[in-house]
Amino acid sequence: MRRIEDQGFLLLLFVVTLAFAWILQPFYGAVLWAIVVAVIFAPVNRRILRSVGGRETLAASITVLLIIAMVLLPLAIIATSLAREAAGLYSKIQSGEYNFSGYVQRVFDALPAWATGWLDRFNLGDLSALRETLTSGLMKGGQVLAPQALSIGMNTFDFVISLGIMLYLLFFLLRDGKAVADRIREAVPLEADRKSALFTRFADVVRATVKGGVLVAMAQGALGGLAFWFLGVHAPILWAVLMAFLSLLPAIGAGLVWIPVAIYFLATGAIWQGLGLIAYGVLVIGLVDNVLRPFLVGKGTKLPDYVVLISTLGGIEVFGLNGFVIGPLIAAIFMVSWDIFATSRRTSRDSA
């Protein structure tokens, strides 16, 4: 009889947990980022807590105000400028002021004889067809990306509600985070060493993904945007954001943006601009990842680059922009869970 009651309670627990998750689903992004930001700024909150004599409410309030001043306000300024530049780019694409076909034709016209011979060898000599394909792709990409960028601020009310929920939840996670984590740790039905490994891994992956991913991507995007502004490339903030986004993906990076621009400069006779951009991209933008990431993360997620790449792309495909955190997090927990399982089996086999 006792077993039936236990099974009934477990069923009830499962159902109400699903129902609670269903209720939170519209704001899962706000909840996710509240947890992520709380994990990242927990050390800052602890320092402030010591400096204010252990007053938890005051420490959490100061930390939230710091986050607003240091993170949210600069992001709001960047988003406003991005929307303005995207609007200008979209209108110029629609009016035909930006002729991508002409830009591609200039590059092809500047190709040396050996390059055209190489294209002929691989049956790519029909430059007109190849040019039309590239032009069509660029046009479609621009017509898709620009309206998406223009949508920033269109759903202002939903964004404000989500931001308010995130900040409200963030305050309580900073103030009561240790108690909440202890209760969750106690409720998880696993052995102590396994729970410790999972919770430690969760915190490591969140910190590594945000610090080693987002901060490095922001640095590379800012440096690339600064170079584009100096060289007179239109919409440097838009390109900076695109480079920052691509920098989140290992083995891809900002080079997908600045390399074609450098090639265009070289092909159109702007030799010094093209060579300067290549040198800047290799020596400055490219080295940021190698210099900053080890400093910010250390060993971090301990995930291979190919796992990070696949899990990030898959996470973005399934969860949208939030997926660049959720994807690597799921991958890391997957790998540590299998490591724990393999270790348990090996221990059981050795003790048998």
DSSP for residue 235: -
Q: Binning pLDDT at 50, 70 and 90, where does residue 269 land?
A: confident
Assigned token pair, 324: 């660049």
Average pLDDT, the chain: 76
The residue among 213, 205, 194 whose CA lies nearest residue 292 is 213
The answer on pLDDT for 301 being more than 90 is no
What pLDDT, on a 0 to 100 scale, did the predictor assign at position 258? Answer: 86
pLDDT at 248 over 60: yes
Chain centre to alpha carbon of residue 345: 36
Most confident of 110-114, 145-149, 246-250: 246-250
Q: Is the pLDDT of residue 326 over 50?
A: yes
| Greater model confidence, 21 or 296 | 21
What share of the chain has pLDDT > 90, as a percent?
8
Angle at 19 between CA 15 and CA 24, to 5 degrees: 150
Give the count of alpha carbons within 13 A of 273, CB side only. Answer: 19
In this prediction, residue 99 carries a pLDDT of 59
pLDDT digits (tens, 9 = 90+) for 135-190: 555 555 555 454 544 454 445 667 778 888 999 999 999 998 878 877 877 777 77
Which of the two residues, 21 and 97, has the higher pLDDT score? 21
Cβ 274 vs Cβ 198: under 8 Å: no
Q: Quick one: pLDDT at residue 159? A: 74
Report how far apart the first and last C-alpha atoms of the chain are (Å, whole number). 35
Check pLDDT > 80 for residue 96: no
| pLDDT range class, residue 8, cuts 50, 70, 90 | confident
Location of structure tokens 């020596």: 283
Q: Provide the b/e sequence for 158-178 (b: ≥16 CB within 10 Å).
A: eeeebeebbbebbbebbbebe
